[in-house]
Structure formats: C-alpha cells, structure tokens
Structure 1
Amino acid sequence: MMGAAQLPSEVWVHVFGFLSTADKLSIRSCCKYFKTMVDHWSLWKEYTVFLKKLCAYTAEFWTTLRLRKISSVIVQRAHLKEWKRLALSLPNLTTIAVEGCIDVKAFEILKQFQHLKRLSIRRCGYGHELADNIVHLQQVTHFSLCDMHCAPRTEIINAISKLSHLTSLFYHEGNCPIPRQTLHIMLNRLPHLKHLSLKMGTQHGSLPDDYFNLSKTIRGFQGERQDGQQTGLTSLELLDYMDPTLPEEALKCLPSLRSLSVAYRDRDMQPSRCHLKTWLRVLPQLADLNIAKGYLVSAYAHSIPDTVTSLTLRQVMMQPKDLKALGKRVPGLLHLHFDPCNYNGGSSVGEIPRHFPQLRTFKMRYYDVPDREFSNLVQLKYLERLEILDAKEPSVRLTDLVQKLQALTNYRTQIVHSQNHKDPLACHCAHY
C-alpha cells in the first residue's frame, strides 16, 4: 500500500465518496491507511446507523461512530441500560428513531440528547410516560408518531402541541382522523409548522368543510396565532385516505400549499366521487404532487395546476390518453416518478420524451419495458438522472441497454439503480 499513501488523503476520500456502503466497508478492511480514510466523517454525513442489541457493541464500535460523526440512529427494543450507554457514547445525536421500546423509563433518557432535532417514535405502547417526557424536548423541529396502540390520544396531542418549534409533524396514530377542534388547537399552538402528515383511517362520512380552517377556532390558548391568521402549512400528506372523508372545500383555506401527497386506501374508485380534482383547482402555488392508488388518472389529470414541476404517480390506473392529458397540463415538468398500473397493460415509457421534454430526473420500472422504448429516453435532452426502481441487481440485458443509453447521451445522464435511501423518520405508513 506504499503507492496508495503517496496520494493525498483528500483524493482518496473524494474517490471513496462514490462507493456504496458495502464497498466502503470492504475497502476499509484492506489496511489501516484505508481504514482511516474510509472513516472520514465527510463520507458518512447522511448515514443512519441501525442499532439492535446495544449491549453487544464494543468500545471500538462506539469510537468508530464518533470518528464518523454519526448523528442519526434507529434504536430497536433497547433497555434503559442500553439507552444510557447510547447517551454516553453518542451525546451529539440530532436524529433518533425509536422502534418497539420495551422499557418505559427509556423515554426519560431522550432529554439528555441536547442536540436532538428529529425524533420518531413507532410501535411503542407507553402513552402517559411518553407524553410526560416529550414535552421537555423543546428543541425538536421534526416529530413522527406511529402505531402507538396504548397511547391516550388527548394526552399525546396535548404534549405535541407544546413542541412549539416543530416545523414537521407526522401523526399516524389511530383508525380515525383527529377531531376538528383538537386539530385546530394543536395547529394554533405550532406556529412554525410547515409539513403535516396525517393518517386518515376509516372515517365514515365527511369531516367539516373548515377542517383545516383555523379562523373559526375557539381561542384563548397561550402561544396561539392572532385572529385572522391561517396555518402556514406548505406541505400536506394524507395517508390511508378515502373520499368523502374530507369535503371538496377542505383545502380551500390552504392556498400556500406547495406540496400535496395523497395515498388512497384502494384503487379504481368511482371518478364521480373524486374530491382531488376540486382540491387541485384551489392550490395556485402547488409544485409537488404525489398520488398513490386511488382513481383513474383521467379523474383529476385536467385539474393539475401548471405550476407543478414534480409529479409522482404510484400504483395508479392509467389509460393511454391520460399521459397526453398530463403532458398538456404540465409540459414544463422537471421531475417525474412514474410507476403506474397500466389500465390496458403494456408500457408508456416510450411516450415520456414527447409529453415531458423538460425532464431533469425520471424514476421508472424497467420490467415489461421494450428495448426500443427504453432507448427512446435518449430524446430527453435535459435528463440528468435516471433511476431504475426494480433493478438492484441489473441483468446483462439491462446493463447493455444502460451502457448504450449513456453512450448516446454522451454520459451526461447519471443512471442508477434503486438506492432505497429511507428517511430514518419515515414509518411504514409512508411506504405506500
């Protein structure tokens, strides 16, 4: 390894930045010099460590994590003693996801992480103790709660409402929506909230028209907005949704929304019941639209605002004419995640360049796409990144097609296979 040592360490760190985690760990085992380079903190900025059976980790393991400046962890089923070890070993954590906590006193340790900004708690059953302890985490800006079967809703929501610095909230709890007045009180107490994700559940009938309208809320709570002020939400996500849970006028009071995600419980529903088409007409600033399952695309395609630059369609039913309609509505689309269940079978990938000529990024599935249609992607003159979602281990045929496409585009397009980089705060509900 004498030749390797002749190159500046900055060069090796830059080169290793292009490697996968598995490749980096393989290189790390070659020699002490490469081990030092691979452990450079800049190579692990976005990395999340999954911690299970913390009692089995050695002092060297914790030292390595500190060298890499690991700031994000997922902790599964840890006991109080293990939590104390974590707080001692990695006191500067900024992101913690707690899964299946089996020791109620562990929640008390959370306040020892003074730099904690992002917290996710899922599949834990201690409602009272959780509420008592999260109120002390005033520095948290991103909070996610999912699948807390034993948690009293009123206590949990009251505790969340006291996290006044929250900018992002994922509340995926229970089988029915938060009652209107309870939601209003919570939103009024969270003046900095920008992103809200709700699991709607099995609501029967429709919620009030003013479900998101704070102007009619009974006031008098400390820290609330002044009269006349509306929520500043710019991003809304509705999971496990079915019409008519929210009425057609529900989003009329959210004109500042720039991102809307709707994950329906089922697909191929009656187009006449589609409220999404009405919602889209009152969102003049919408830039990001994410739809999973639900209605035929034709039910809402003509209502999509021309301000949309990023579009995700997953497990939706489409007819050939729908792609043309979408192209007319958003011809300047820059980012497309295209993973439909085609109504009549076959592939529509070959038509993408004609309808969306400005694309910069494109996510697609390779399965059932003819070679000729795949090669048509060369017509996307501005494409910077192509992600193939179903080819973690590409076949010889796909590898050959990718090489040809890269050559035809003069290697300006980065072609990658699904990276599966999951946000550590994302719960299973969000994997629709």
Structure 2
Amino acid sequence: MMLSALQLPAELWLQVFSYLSWRDLLSVRGSCCHFLRLLDTSCRLWRGFCVTLRDFRRYDRQFWTSLAQRHVGSVCVRAGKRKHLKQLSTWLPALHALRLDDWRDGAAHELKLFHRLRRLSVTSCFTPLESLDFLLPVSGHLTQLSLCNVQLTCSASHLAAAIGQLTRLTSLLLHHDGSLRAPELSGVLTHLKHLTHLSWTMITYRTLSHDFFGHAHLTDELHLSELQLLNYDATVTQEVLRPLSRLRSLSIFHLYSVPGPTCHLHTWLTSLPHLESLSVDGGHPLAAYADLLPSSLVSLTLSVELQLEDLQVVSLRAPHLQQLHLEPWSSSSGLVRLLPHLFPHLTTLRIRHAHVSDEDFLSLQRLRRLRTLEVLDRSPRLPRLTSDLYRLTNHRVRVLTSSHRDPLTCPCI
C-alpha cells in the first residue's frame, strides 16, 4: 500500500531534505502547501542560507513572514538605501551577516538597529565614504568587516582610529580605489588583538618602513595567520616582516603584470619559512622564486608565467602539496598530464581544459587522493569528459564548473 506525503512523519522528510541544496529546497518548497509549511517552520534546514534582496517594493508581508519563520540570518541587499535597512530590521532584527552591494546612500547609520550583526560587507558604494563613524554602534559585536571597491575621502588617521575601535574583529578586508594613501598598518593592527585575516589594497611603490606591520617596541606578536595584499609593488625587509611570524597564508596580487627589476617575493619567502598556503598573481615568472618555496606548503595558487621545469622544482620543494590552482599565462596543455606524477597527494585541483587533450584530462584519474576538480572554463565536450572521469574514478572525484562562493565574500579575490 502506497503512503502519501502527508502520512510520512515530518522528521523523515526533514532528514531527506537535509541532503538537498538550497536551490533544490526552494523547488521542493514550491511543489505543494504541505512541503511549504514544513520547510518554512524548520530553521535547521536554512542554517547558513543567504537571501539576496533587491527592489523592496516587490516584497509583501507574506514574503517577510516566510523569511522570519526560517530565521534567516544572512542577507545581501542589492542597490539598497538606508530606508531599506529600517524595513529589514523590522522583520529580521536578529541578522548576523549583511552585505550591502551597490550601496546608494553612503554611510549606513541604521546598522545600529542590528544588535547581533557579526559580519558586514559594503561593496561598490556609489557615494564616497567621508567617515566610518557609522560602524561605531556595531563595534562591540562585529567580527568580520569587508569594504570593497569603495571611495574613501576620510583621512588615513580617521580610518585607523575608526577601525581600531572594532576590537572584536577577526577578519578585515579593505579594497579601495586608490584615493587613500595606505597608512602604516601598525596603527590599525596594534588595536585588533583578535585579527587573524587581513586583506588590504596597497598601491605604494616605496620601501615599507620597519614598523609598517608592527611597532618595534611592542613585544606582543600579531595573531595574523592570513594576509592578502592587492596592487602590491613594495620593497620589504626581513625586519618589516618580523611581526608576521604566525602567518600561514600569503596572497600577493601584483600591481603590474610586467615585473620590476626586483622580485620582492624573495624576502617574503625567506622570512616566512612556515607558510602553508601561497597565492601569487602577476609579477615575476615562477622560475624567479620556485626554489625558495617552503616545504610546509600544502596549498598553491599560481597566475604567473611558468614552464614545466618550474613545476618540477615546486614538486621537490613542496612534496606534500594538497591543493593546486593553475592559471599559467602560457598554454597549460603540456602540464596537466604530468600533475599525477609531480603532485600525487593532491586532493583539490583547479585548472582550465580548453587546450588539454581528452587523454590528458582523463589522466587525472591517476591522482588517487583527488576529491574535487574545478574546471574554470566550459566547452561542449566538458559534460562527456566529466562523465568519463566519474566512471573512471567510481565517482570519487567531484567535478565543479564554477566556484561555490560565499555570497558575502569579496568578488575581486
């Protein structure tokens, strides 16, 4: 005898739904009233779900009630204004993550209405930010702040003072348009005792001062473990980098694709021998620093000029590499077939396949520990190749064709 959906226990359906993606959950929700009520009253299934809102005139009371029932805690507001924050706080006052994308009104003093806000991202702000005082009401509970593609007309001293009051920050990202002269980061970092992740636009060509990251007279080490520097072309010394002894992840996005006379990575790599993750975009060819890579590396991203012999050096310098992302400026057609031999411990690989033969692509089955393969370009033959690779690996390898990004992350990294 067949049982109807109404006769099965709700707990059973919720267990089944827990295996679905958010997109599939929305499809199921629209299939019948029973599933709609069941899903909307189960907060557990929507944990981590991020809603993107635009054109607030379209949303009625039923829509807001649905979001409130699901206890949605993460929202992205597109092309929003301050009045929309007031409406949002009425229905979702317990938001813990908020992204303001294409923000239209400059400062957002209405943030004070969100007493549980932990993560804030402001991207592509149409109006210049003359002050960051609107952040002060959330300084007691904000742990992650991202200001991306913003125009800052405030002074460097005001910037340092305002951010320095966000003492609970663990992650800080500031990508500006170059209008702000980069202040000494020590003026910010000395106040942020819990900061572990920093992403910063540099746009400076000079030699960094000896106390750029930390004052020499301070004995406490910085807790930074991840550092990203955009538009980088500055000279450093080992003394400058001494406060970064706990750094485990370094990402350098060079200002120019044509390298200058000096490869600054030499100093970085010799000063940070315990790096576990390195990402390099632009600058000198890999050959200029391949033999300086630390043996502790487990993750490597390269968007640079490289040759096969350079990867052979990398395989010797970092024999335990687990994650590799290759965006070589030259053709990668001759590289893919050798990856299983050079990096047998890979669990994650990101490549392009346009100039790779079918035989070389399928040779990736020989990476016995590979679990995730992300293909960064598309072609008519990719579905067939993916199907063949699934069969050859007994579905051990998951093939992705686009990045599964956190909606609140910065789009330029």
**Would the aligned equivalents of 2:238 and 2:271 in 1 still touch at CA under 8 Å?**
no
Structure-to-structure mapping, 1:120-139, within 5 angstroms: 120-124=121-125, 125=127, 127-128=129-130, 130-137=131-138, 138-139=140-141
How far does residue 417 in structure 1 lie from its aligned partner after superposition?
Answer: 2.3
Could you tell which deviates more after superposition, 20-29 or 49-58?
20-29
How far does residue 401 in structure 1 lie from its aligned partner after superposition?
Answer: 2.1
Structure 1 unmatched runs, 5+: 217-226
Aligned to 2:342: 355
With over 3 angstroms needed to count, the CA separation of the structure-2 counterparts of 1:107 and 1:345, relative to structure 1, is closer
1:160 aligns with 2:163: yes
How far does residue 265 in structure 1 lie from its aligned partner after superposition?
Answer: 2.4
How far does residue 140 in structure 1 lie from its aligned partner after superposition?
Answer: 0.3
How far does residue 94 in structure 1 lie from its aligned partner after superposition?
Answer: 0.6
- Which residue, out of 283, 287, 312, partners 1:324? 312
**Would the aligned equivalents of 1:296 and 1:317 in 2 still touch at CA under 8 Å?**
yes
- Which residue, out of 71, 74, 86, partners 1:72? 74
Higher relative contact order (CA 8 A, sep 6+): 1
With over 3 angstroms needed to count, the CA separation of the structure-2 counterparts of 1:177 and 1:311, relative to structure 1, is farther
After superposition, the CA RMSD in angstroms is: 2.5
Aligned partners of 2:239 and 2:288: how far apart in 1?
17
Structure-to-structure mapping, 1:385-400, within 5 angstroms: 385-391=372-378, 395=380, 397-400=381-384
How far does residue 108 in structure 1 lie from its aligned partner after superposition?
Answer: 2.2
Structure-to-structure mapping, 1:19-34, within 5 angstroms: 19-34=20-35
1:337 aligns with 2:325: yes
Q: Which amino acid aligns with 1:133?
A: F
Aligned partners of 1:81 and 1:210: how far apart in 2?
43
Aligned to 2:282: 293
- Which residue, out of 263, 268, 278, partners 1:279? 268
Structure-to-structure mapping, 1:46-195, within 5 angstroms: 46-103=48-105, 107-124=108-125, 125=127, 127-128=129-130, 130-137=131-138, 138-153=140-155, 154-175=157-178, 177-180=181-184, 183-195=185-197
1:409 aligns with 2:411: no
Aligned partners of 1:243 and 1:80: how far apart in 2?
39
Q: For 1:368, what is the secondary structure of its paired residue? A: coil
* 1:324-364 Cα distance to aligned partner (Å, 9 max, x none): 1111111111111222222x663411111111101111122
With over 3 angstroms needed to count, the CA separation of the structure-2 counterparts of 1:317 and 1:112, relative to structure 1, is same
- Which residue, out of 247, 254, 257, partners 1:257? 247
How far does residue 11 in structure 1 lie from its aligned partner after superposition?
Answer: 4.5
Aligned partners of 1:410 and 1:147: how far apart in 2?
44
TM-score, L = length of structure 2: 0.90
Aligned to 1:241: 232
Aligned partners of 1:61 and 1:317: how far apart in 2?
51
Q: Which amino acid aligns with 1:178?
A: A
Aligned partners of 2:49 and 2:309: how far apart in 1?
42
Q: Percent identity?
A: 35
With over 3 angstroms needed to count, the CA separation of the structure-2 counterparts of 1:173 and 1:400, relative to structure 1, is closer
With over 3 angstroms needed to count, the CA separation of the structure-2 counterparts of 1:126 and 1:275, relative to structure 1, is closer
* 1:249-292 Cα distance to aligned partner (Å, 9 max, x none): 5324311101101111232425x511112211221321111112
With over 3 angstroms needed to count, the CA separation of the structure-2 counterparts of 1:46 and 1:290, relative to structure 1, is farther
With over 3 angstroms needed to count, the CA separation of the structure-2 counterparts of 1:367 and 1:11, relative to structure 1, is farther
**Would the aligned equivalents of 1:375 and 1:405 in 2 still touch at CA under 8 Å?**
yes
Aligned partners of 1:70 and 1:312: how far apart in 2?
34
* 1:186-245 Cα distance to aligned partner (Å, 9 max, x none): 2111111111111012x23222233223224xxxxxxxxxx411322111110111244x
TM-score, L = length of structure 1: 0.86
Q: For 2:48, what is the secondary structure of its paired residue? A: coil
Aligned partners of 2:209 and 2:6: how far apart in 1?
68
How far does residue 425 in structure 1 lie from its aligned partner after superposition?
Answer: 3.8
Could you tell which deviates more after superposition, 66-75 or 13-22?
13-22
Aligned partners of 1:328 and 1:86: how far apart in 2?
54
* 1:161-201 Cα distance to aligned partner (Å, 9 max, x none): 11111111112235265232xx2222111111111111012
Aligned to 1:232: 223
**Would the aligned equivalents of 2:94 and 2:116 in 1 still touch at CA under 8 Å?**
yes
Aligned to 1:304: 293
How far does residue 45 in structure 1 lie from its aligned partner after superposition?
Answer: 2.6
Q: Which amino acid aligns with 1:376?
A: S
Aligned to 1:422: 406
Q: Which amino acid aligns with 1:237?
A: Q
Q: Which amino acid aligns with 1:309?
A: V
**Would the aligned equivalents of 1:268 and 1:317 in 2 still touch at CA under 8 Å?**
no
* 1:268-327 Cα distance to aligned partner (Å, 9 max, x none): 425x511112211221321111112222111111111111111112x3111111111111
Aligned partners of 1:30 and 1:74: how far apart in 2?
26
**Would the aligned equivalents of 2:76 and 2:407 in 1 still touch at CA under 8 Å?**
no
Aligned partners of 2:283 and 2:15: how far apart in 1?
44
With over 3 angstroms needed to count, the CA separation of the structure-2 counterparts of 1:297 and 1:14, relative to structure 1, is farther
Q: Which amino acid aligns with 1:165?
A: R
Aligned partners of 1:11 and 1:318: how far apart in 2?
53
With over 3 angstroms needed to count, the CA separation of the structure-2 counterparts of 1:32 and 1:98, relative to structure 1, is same
**Would the aligned equivalents of 1:242 and 1:265 in 2 still touch at CA under 8 Å?**
yes
